[in-house]
Structure 1
Amino acid sequence: MANAFEQQDDTFSQGNLQRDRFIDMDHSSIPQEKEEWPVIIIGSSMVGKALGLLLGYHGIKSVSFDRHASESSQPRAAGLSFRTCEILRQIGLENFAREQSSQQFDSNAGILLADKLVGGNVIQVLQKHDPDITKQITPSSWIWMAQSMFEPILGSHASDFGSTQLYSQEVLCYEEDKDGVIVVVKNHKTNEIRKYKTPYLVACDGHRSPTRHKEGIRWEGPGVLRNSFSVGFRSDLGPFVKERLVHGVVYVANDKINGGFRLDDGGRQGLLMVNSVGERSDFPPGSVTVEQARKSFYDCAGLRPDEVFVDMHTVNYWTMASYTADRMASKTGRVFLAGDSAHVMPPTGGLGGNTGIADAHNLAWKLAYVLTGRASSSLLDSYNKERHFIDEFTVNQATARFQNRVALQQPPAPEASDVSMELGYRYSSGAFVHEESYHQPDELYDDPHYPTAFPGSRFPHVFLEDVGIPGRQISTLDLVRKNFLVVTTQPDSPWVAAAKRIKTVEIDVAVLNAQSAPYRDASGLVEEKCRLRAGQAILIRPDGFIAWRAIARQDNHKRVLQHTLRSILGISAIQSMI
């Protein structure tokens, strides 16, 4: 039988194809649109959509242009990590996403490594988290859902956040001038070409990123690991899989095949991923027939054709690779990379899309502060300083997970724990301030159960009691909204008074102890996890990372806090209005 299903090519090119380049064109005769978007985003997939919503949360309108006709129907990406769910929580979408997920996925899903999907031996259970343990470090839990489900959720809320997300509209080229970026866009439905001006451009345009090529940004890292393929299918595996249906992903390794399944809708549809068949581990575009794909399905499932029917509708060829961009911004600082345009990694561990959303979360508040005059453009330099190192570390960890879980490398490559990867990473330099007595820890990340609360690390989670509503709890993370936040345990803290006297940069304050209101720390864990002693406080950024630790001092609290904010935000003066 010939190739009868839809074939899709998502492999890496060698960098010489037109799809990897913007076109050269003279756009001088094209009139510039009157509407000037504060931020233009290239790409309306998961990371581009998330960035649009996060910018909107901070009051910045944006538009994203995507050359594809619609959102992806391919069921890529399987789970939203702890950190991604915390980000959704901040903008009010976590519960909605969880409700949508519950219609198709089990909330207790994990990742299983077995020698076949049905029956056979379980080699290892991975990323299955005990909620009684994880609630000590985060108010959120993993949400299992396909990218094809998550993108419409983000899209359906876009207008609520002032985010415009357009399809069939391709960015043909862009160029920077002294005060912004000119972006030329073609509407493929009407063939109309328009020209826009924006202060900042963010490329969420995937691993082939024309933006990365234009900016002369190089890939660094281990490189291409193999060319794999995935098959979208419909079947009825539920009665066979039974209790294994709870798992979001099942990796399979046996003598015939190395791959795995991502099952949706109670096992009635899903994605088959194939990394190798026997000795073959390279599958260039167009190389897999229907018969070969069907045989891979049954070999991976451990079933026979007479036991269950499978309808295969698409095959997607993709490159498993490990790369990090050597920088995440243009040299002028007006064009940024986020998501797959800045890093690609094996899917093992579900780190790729989640890392891209963390990029967007880091960048959004900084763009908002610069665009509204609360910070200088130098704040944006911290995006590359902070995210490049963490993205590189994450790519290496995803590669280690591939080597251990798929390639079955011996001896195993070192892995950081999942919760440390998601919640414990720490920025080594960027938009935060160290005290002179600060000593950089040797480790690249914290154990979230025992946080260091050093500048550059995530604000620790502690459940607080709502004094006004008996039985209701919130997380310390819920106190982080759109402003900086000063946290202390002392109601008469001079740091609280200092924060209230600074008016041009809004600073929220939270006094948290056993008697505090409106939220009470009955457990006393805020003092312990934040390592707060008498006279001390911590300053939290709008993205929930610690910006500074304030030590006990006798005087000049307002002046010291002002100086700290100037350093973080890169502005010459922040005046207090008393």
Structure 2
Amino acid sequence: MTTVLIVGAGPTGLTLACDLARRGVALRVIDRAPRHVRTSRAKGPNPRTLEVLENLGVLDAVLATGSAPLALRKYRDGRWIADSDPFENSRPTPGAPYDRGRLMAQWQLEQVLRDRLAEYGVRVEPGAELTGLAQDDTGVTAELADGSRITARYLVGCDGGHSTTRKLLGVPLEGETAPEQSMVCGDVVAEGPERDRWHQWFDEDGAVMLCPIPGTRSGWWFQAAPERDADGTPVAPSLESFQRLCDRHTGTAVRLTEATLLSTYRVNVRMVDRYRVGRVFLAGDAAHVHSIAGGLGMNTGIQDAHNLGWKLALVTSGLAGPGLLDTYQEERLPIAAWTLETSSAGMRAVLEAIKKPGGGLEAGITPETSALGLGYRWSSLSQDRSGRHDTSGAPAGAPGAPSRAPGSPAHASAGDDGDTRLRAGDRAPDAPCRDTATGTPRRLFEVFAGPHFTLLGFGAGSTAALREIAAERGDTVRVCAVDAGPQAAAGGQVPGLDDHGGHARSAYGTDGDALVLVRPDNHVGLLAPADGTRAVRDYLDGLGR
């Protein structure tokens, strides 16, 4: 019996596999496709996903493979109208080092993640199709199309919008389909357009969009409003139909010589009402599908996986109680609802924008779509023992029920009382600091990177608590003193950082001495006073119990 069986080897499944593998969890990853496909569907990680990928240790490979987002070149009636850059006013900040995503094909990101997984000795098993499921109190048995069976303590369905796992569980994907919002897509080889722009031809009777695929010499993403026959039925995508669409909207500007991965995309806005049935979980498109506006699909799935991985690892190792797994649904189901609402609003904005010359896809790109403002203030894992916030009710920005969205990033980081300081459940910010012992630059994200909790202690008054937790918890919790002075490192147990620019204190809202416990997925779990050793112990010992 393996510990975790992952069904589906897309970005969601591979992220989960990498996270579990680095924690030493025994796992298998199966995928129904007979070989790894070069599918260029999603166009790359957003800023929050880049932080996840940094934590997994693959950011350098992602940055080397992809490119910065391109400016958008808009045309009308075949003529150039305007160029626009949705990120021209964006800048990195000390707390958020990635102000924009990365442009790369989905297959390129999958290759980066597979390579990382192979470093842990785990490889995807292709051509393994799930056909049946059975579970009891001890585990799950997966039946495959070839008649073989795999038993595991837990199974995670990361197998896409047509998820077999979801169907076998009998969990409906509820929502609606917008047949009028459809497009034909494919990967094409094209001649004509310059590769330093994302070209978009919008006209009254349709649209064609061409975006260069990074790392290729002549590969492009093709998207267009479909041709329709006499009775209004969309014409099936093909090289010939793509060329006719190009001729109609671009004139002679584009010549296509090859078209692959042809598909017709219809906007579905649907999600499940639960992420878990017994020992089986759903993640990514298996749990939620929506408009492509804002590029949230793949990114939300990767962030699902990052939320679930550490919880599965702690439960299966006995370091947390089984109730910890319930918090996966508690935290991610409201995020799925927010994603559906945000992407639908983005699609409406795009459809309205393209009616006017110069309008385009940038209408669907907002600060919210970076996902940097999303957190879990409403979660049972978000605890404030610092006394600086009223915790008598649901935190500001939290949904009242799983069917509600958690609100905008602005509401996720600022209370109704106007207090913008960090709260339990928020994403843990980065900050540039210096190593107290050596003076070399070191970021908080470097301290967070890995499969551990991080206990930040601000001020000299926190060092006793840091030493106690370090001695008790070993590798489970990494401790770090911020602005505690050279004495913090006495005995070698407490590495220290000098917050020379004041960025860490500003980001974490600490004027004096305090403790901040950061979860393995880089969200704040606990805020406590500097002498709050017991609060930290109670938090860690109470996980899932």
* TM-score scaled by length of structure 1: 0.80
Looking at structure 1, the residues matched to 10 and 299 of structure 2 have their Cα atoms a distance apart, in angstroms, of: 13
Q: Equivalent of 2:480, from 486, 491, 510?
A: 510
| Superposition pairs of residues 160-309 of structure 1, within 5 angstroms | 160-186=119-145, 192-225=146-179, 226-237=181-192, 240-241=193-194, 245-247=195-197, 249-264=198-213, 265=215, 268-276=218-226, 287-288=236-237, 290-300=239-249, 302-304=250-252, 308-309=255-256
Once the two structures are TM-superposed, the CA of residue 506 in structure 1 deviates from its matched residue by: 2.6
Q: SS in structure 2 opposite 1:477?
A: helix
Q: 2:237–2:263: 8 Å Cα contact kept in structure 1?
A: no
Q: Deviations over 1:217-271 (max 9, x none)?
A: 222344335332113211223xx43xxx334x44442123234222125761212
| Superposition pairs of residues 558-573 of structure 1, within 5 angstroms | 558-567=533-542, 569-571=543-545
The answer to whether residue 63 in structure 2 is matched with residue 93 in structure 1 is: no
Looking at structure 2, the residues matched to 149 and 420 of structure 1 have their Cα atoms a distance apart, in angstroms, of: 22
Q: Equivalent of 1:349, from 282, 294, 316?
A: 294
Give the residue type in structure 2 aligned to 1:328.
Answer: Y
Q: 1:515–1:521: 8 Å Cα contact kept in structure 2?
A: no
Looking at structure 2, the residues matched to 397 and 282 of structure 1 have their Cα atoms a distance apart, in angstroms, of: 30
Q: Equivalent of 2:433, from 464, 470, 479?
A: 464
Looking at structure 2, the residues matched to 94 and 138 of structure 1 have their Cα atoms a distance apart, in angstroms, of: 13
Q: SS in structure 1 opposite 2:34?
A: coil
Q: SS in structure 2 opposite 1:174?
A: strand
Q: 1:258–1:275: 8 Å Cα contact kept in structure 2?
A: yes
Looking at structure 1, the residues matched to 366 and 505 of structure 2 have their Cα atoms a distance apart, in angstroms, of: 25
Once the two structures are TM-superposed, the CA of residue 134 in structure 1 deviates from its matched residue by: 4.4
**Matched residues, number:** 509
Once the two structures are TM-superposed, the CA of residue 143 in structure 1 deviates from its matched residue by: 2.1
Q: Deviations over 1:8-46 (max 9, x none)?
A: xxxxxxxxxxxxxxxxxxxxxxxxxxxx21110111122
Once the two structures are TM-superposed, the CA of residue 124 in structure 1 deviates from its matched residue by: 4.8
The answer to whether residue 85 in structure 2 is matched with residue 125 in structure 1 is: yes
Q: SS in structure 1 opposite 2:85?
A: strand
Once the two structures are TM-superposed, the CA of residue 114 in structure 1 deviates from its matched residue by: 2.1
Q: Equivalent of 2:264, from 312, 317, 322?
A: 317
Give the residue type in structure 2 aligned to 1:426.
Answer: G
Q: Structure 1 pair 351/498, CA: closer, same or farther in 2 (3 Å)?
A: same
Q: SS in structure 1 opposite 2:28?
A: strand
Looking at structure 2, the residues matched to 122 and 279 of structure 1 have their Cα atoms a distance apart, in angstroms, of: 32
The answer to whether residue 447 in structure 2 is matched with residue 500 in structure 1 is: no
Looking at structure 2, the residues matched to 151 and 485 of structure 1 have their Cα atoms a distance apart, in angstroms, of: 28
- Gaps (5+ residues) in structure 1? 1-35, 187-191, 572-578
Once the two structures are TM-superposed, the CA of residue 321 in structure 1 deviates from its matched residue by: 1.5
Counterpart of 1:27 in structure 2 is none
Q: 1:231–1:312: 8 Å Cα contact kept in structure 2?
A: yes
Give the residue type in structure 2 aligned to 1:473.
Answer: P
Looking at structure 2, the residues matched to 122 and 221 of structure 1 have their Cα atoms a distance apart, in angstroms, of: 37
Counterpart of 2:491 in structure 1 is none
| Superposition pairs of residues 50-61 of structure 1, within 5 angstroms | 50-61=15-26
Q: 1:51–1:361: 8 Å Cα contact kept in structure 2?
A: yes
| Superposition pairs of residues 369-384 of structure 1, within 5 angstroms | 369-384=314-329
The answer to whether residue 5 in structure 2 is matched with residue 40 in structure 1 is: yes
Looking at structure 2, the residues matched to 414 and 75 of structure 1 have their Cα atoms a distance apart, in angstroms, of: 23
Q: Deviations over 1:146-184 (max 9, x none)?
A: 012111221222221243311111112111012000112
The answer to whether residue 75 in structure 2 is matched with residue 115 in structure 1 is: yes
Once the two structures are TM-superposed, the CA of residue 100 in structure 1 deviates from its matched residue by: 2.1
Once the two structures are TM-superposed, the CA of residue 57 in structure 1 deviates from its matched residue by: 1.8
Looking at structure 2, the residues matched to 144 and 422 of structure 1 have their Cα atoms a distance apart, in angstroms, of: 16
Q: 1:78–1:262: 8 Å Cα contact kept in structure 2?
A: no
* TM-score scaled by length of structure 2: 0.84
Give the residue type in structure 2 aligned to 1:460.
Answer: P
Looking at structure 2, the residues matched to 95 and 210 of structure 1 have their Cα atoms a distance apart, in angstroms, of: 34
Q: Structure 1 pair 124/399, CA: closer, same or farther in 2 (3 Å)?
A: farther
Counterpart of 1:490 in structure 2 is 459
Counterpart of 1:444 in structure 2 is 407
Give the residue type in structure 2 aligned to 1:228.
Answer: M
Counterpart of 1:544 in structure 2 is 522
| Superposition pairs of residues 330-479 of structure 1, within 5 angstroms | 330=277, 332=278, 334-408=279-353, 417-418=366-367, 421-427=370-376, 428-435=378-385, 437-438=390-391, 440-442=395-397, 444-447=407-410, 452-466=421-435, 472-479=440-447
Q: SS in structure 2 opposite 1:143?
A: coil
Q: Share of identical aligned residues, percent?
A: 21
Looking at structure 2, the residues matched to 422 and 277 of structure 1 have their Cα atoms a distance apart, in angstroms, of: 35
Give the residue type in structure 1 aligned to 2:497.
Answer: Y
The answer to whether residue 521 in structure 2 is matched with residue 521 in structure 1 is: no
Looking at structure 2, the residues matched to 52 and 163 of structure 1 have their Cα atoms a distance apart, in angstroms, of: 8
Once the two structures are TM-superposed, the CA of residue 293 in structure 1 deviates from its matched residue by: 1.9
Looking at structure 1, the residues matched to 263 and 444 of structure 2 have their Cα atoms a distance apart, in angstroms, of: 42
Q: Structure 1 pair 100/491, CA: closer, same or farther in 2 (3 Å)?
A: same
Looking at structure 1, the residues matched to 373 and 245 of structure 2 have their Cα atoms a distance apart, in angstroms, of: 38
Q: Structure 1 pair 364/478, CA: closer, same or farther in 2 (3 Å)?
A: same
Looking at structure 2, the residues matched to 292 and 365 of structure 1 have their Cα atoms a distance apart, in angstroms, of: 47
Q: 2:19–2:56: 8 Å Cα contact kept in structure 1?
A: yes
Q: SS in structure 2 opposite 1:235?
A: strand
- Gaps (5+ residues) in structure 2? 398-405, 415-419, 487-494
Q: SS in structure 2 opposite 1:488?
A: strand
> RMSD value over aligned CA atoms?
3.2
Q: Deviations over 1:506-544 (max 9, x none)?
A: 322111128566532111121121012434211111111
Once the two structures are TM-superposed, the CA of residue 457 in structure 1 deviates from its matched residue by: 0.9
Looking at structure 2, the residues matched to 100 and 409 of structure 1 have their Cα atoms a distance apart, in angstroms, of: 31
Counterpart of 1:32 in structure 2 is none
Looking at structure 2, the residues matched to 280 and 375 of structure 1 have their Cα atoms a distance apart, in angstroms, of: 62
Once the two structures are TM-superposed, the CA of residue 547 in structure 1 deviates from its matched residue by: 0.4
Once the two structures are TM-superposed, the CA of residue 296 in structure 1 deviates from its matched residue by: 1.3
Q: SS in structure 1 opposite 2:108?
A: helix
